Amino acid sequence: MALAMFLDDDAEALRRYKAGDRSSDRVVNYFGGQGLEGPAREWREPCSIWNLAANLILKVGAL
């Protein structure tokens, strides 16, 4: 999801996702596009692997 947000240049969604947001409409819409809307609404705590991926994408994007 972080990659899709990055490629869409949706910095706000990526910021929210990185902060652990898995329930706002802006973030859930990315999951919904992959058929994962239900699980995304249930995820409340950030997963360290997702934070790692989001941080990497932000760093690469800053280069």
Would you state the structure tokens that stand for residue 36, as one six-digit string?
A: 């994962």
Identify the domain containing residue 6 by its residue range.
2-62
- Residue 62 CA to its chain's centroid (Å): 17
- pTM passes above 0.85: no
- Confidence band, pLDDT 50/70/90 cuts, at residue 35: low
Number of domains the chain contains: 1
Q: Would you say residue 10 has pLDDT above 90? A: yes
DSSP character for 8?
Answer: T
